[in-house]
A and B are shown apart, each in its own frame.
Chain A
């Protein structure tokens, strides 16, 4: 369908900004592997400290890129499926807030005043602008959701008996999760962190801040994942030449995510004091529940792809795999998605031990974690984001893909890189290699008394994988910016691929409305988090003074004069 110039410009800017910042994000990703493999025995390079780079890598890739894309892709999905455009003024205000917030945080990080990583755990203190920037980015991303929800209610009134498209359900579920979980981090940032970092309040409750962060932190993971799931359910079967095996199973999966995404955050805090084992066990059990929708999705997509293979006359149990369009430049989105799914097989499965209570002791905060999540957020999520970004740019600008033959190979190169990279990190993690540590200065420096020779092969493997990932990333930038600036040769339009479902499925009312699921979500959320927050509130632990990253003495100076 044709869309207005102003909406087109908003979506293009909301893709261009994060992908441009991604160049810095991916550079610092490569630098991590170089420091950690002991090729650099220093605190920083090119005036960028290791932990400053790690913060930039985390914030740009995992917060800015994902949030901008979710909003841009949300605009495209809602417009395409409801056949009407969101309110342009709201979309513009949202974009400006997000960009201003990102610039604030970027300034704080680049000037070295916010090297606190993307989890910004107090009592390490960052510049107030870092926190304010994060808050603006989040609030900016709320606005389109309110607008889409209104559009959906209006559409529903007119189409009461029509089944709501799965992509619309997915987008609204995703942003409902996002809005509810960001309330906790907005409270943490606005009420706890900003006054504390400005010096207005002297101390901060560390366990409360961490619990509020992870109330948001795990749902953030599903905020990353659900746009990719929307693409897997509504586009992949069509691109593969088949049909979606079960639309209802998709709805069940999305509503299960709505209920279970948030009340599981404490499984990031199994090793923390300050939270009782009862709360940890309850949220751990809930986390097992959230693995079920992903298993259902795995089967649903495999059946859809098998149907596509059967359509092309495949034989035997796995003959359908050979029939799929892996290297078809015209269906490059299939390549981006299938590589993401292959990575997600390993990414998803290596996540379960983390949630498994005392099994977490083996791998908590070790390199196993980055190994795991580079096959989830830097696997299916990242490939879906960059694949769809190029797709939307080429459609909205009416321009053919630049280097189409290279474009379709990029995801495979990235997949191979990540598999090598992650196996190095996970192997290292299992023998105690820590994450978030400039290993080059100590554990991987032969001259240091802390030198650990058993971590040399693991960090080497991670470096090798990292280099391949970096090459794939650079090739992607050439394709993305090449497509963006080349001559317009096509009609500019917005036409997302839409899969049909294999069975003719009539509308199942319970899975076509939000209210009951929202009620269940709130109930489970209260069951999971009231005991945790109640316990923290009552254990009246002493609160912590702020500390800068480079000074063991508390920083009680007021930041305004700095």
Chain B
């Protein structure tokens, strides 16, 4: 039967779960701390390019295709905020900038958005972490943040 120890266990595990939920809500929506936002699809997202909005805001329209990211090298000044818009031209690809928590899936017919702020310079690797065929393990892009001096 369900005695008082069982009740205590049930309540404490519920409390732990609520603690986790509270911590998630507390930290939500800071730059780079939210999950993929779903954007209505249209053709313009299928052309890989970087658009400069102002000195510290960039929009990167990233296209994943069988076995390369387009553009595969992006030059961003330090301290800038970047909106990544990601879609795929063919199969499902992954898009992971591990040091910055940017983690998206590229799906044909879908556009995912994620925003991140690059505070310190460096070369941030973009790794495809979803199997997409024989060239999958070679699929990697780079975000170069003011390193070396922005060309």
Q: Do chains A and B touch in the complex (CB under 8 A)?
A: yes
Q: Which residues of A pack against B, CB within 8 Å?
A: 43, 49, 51, 54, 117, 121, 123-124, 205-207, 210, 246, 248-249, 252, 269-277, 280, 285, 288-289, 291-292, 295-296, 299-300, 303, 352, 356-362, 364-366, 431-432, 434-439, 441-443, 450, 503, 505, 508, 539, 541-545, 547-552, 554
Chain A CB within 8 A of B108 CB:
yes
Q: How many residues of B contact A (CB 8 A)?
A: 61
Chain A CB within 8 A of B104 CB:
yes
Q: How far is the CA of A280 from the CA of B37 in the complex (A)?
A: 10
Q: Which residues of B pack against A, CB within 8 Å?
A: 1-3, 5-6, 9-10, 13-14, 17, 20-21, 24, 27-28, 33-41, 65-67, 86-87, 90-92, 94, 96, 98-99, 101-105, 107-112, 125, 127-138, 140
Residues of B within 8 A of A552 (CB): 65-67, 90, 133, 135
Q: Write 19 A-B pairs (CB below 8 A) sorted by A numbering.
A: A206-B109, A210-B92, A246-B3, A271-B94, A272-B36, A275-B38, A288-B21, A292-B17, A299-B6, A358-B28, A361-B33, A364-B103, A432-B96, A436-B129, A437-B131, A442-B138, A539-B38, A550-B134, A554-B90
Give the 6 A-B residue pairs with the shortest CB-CB distance, closest first: A432-B98, A541-B109, A273-B110, A434-B129, A552-B66, A273-B112
User: Besides the contacts A124-B131, A124-B132, A249-B2, what 9 more A-B pairs have beta carbons closer than 8 Å?
Assistant: A51-B131, A206-B110, A210-B92, A271-B112, A272-B110, A358-B33, A366-B98, A443-B137, A450-B140
Most buried by A among B20, B108, B133: B108
Residues of B within 8 A of A554 (CB): 90
| Contact between A273 and B111, CB atoms less than 8 A apart | yes
Q: How far is the CA of A285 from the CA of B94 in the complex (A)?
A: 25
Q: How far is the CA of A246 from the CA of B129 in the complex (A)?
A: 44
Q: How far is the CA of A104 from the CA of B19 in the complex (A)?
A: 48
Nearest CB of chain B from residue A466's CB, rounded to whole Å: 19
Residues of B within 8 A of A508 (CB): 1
Residues of A within 8 A of B3 (CB): 246, 503
| Contact between A365 and B130, CB atoms less than 8 A apart | yes
Q: How far is the CA of A358 from the CA of B86 in the complex (A)?
A: 18
Residue of A nearest to B135 (CB): A552
Nearest CB of chain A from residue B47's CB, rounded to whole Å: 15
| Contact between A296 and B138, CB atoms less than 8 A apart | no
Given known pairs A123-B108, A434-B94, the reply for A271 and B131 (CB within 8 Å) is no
Given known pairs A272-B105, A288-B21, the reply for A437 and B110 (CB within 8 Å) is no
Q: How far is the CA of A299 from the CA of B138 in the complex (A)?
A: 46
Residue of B nearest to A124 (CB): B91
Residues of A within 8 A of B5 (CB): 299, 303
| Contact between A365 and B112, CB atoms less than 8 A apart | no
Residues of A within 8 A of B67 (CB): 552
Q: How far is the CA of A207 from the CA of B130 in the complex (A)?
A: 15
| Contact between B35 and A434, CB atoms less than 8 A apart | no
Nearest CB of chain B from residue A76's CB, rounded to whole Å: 28
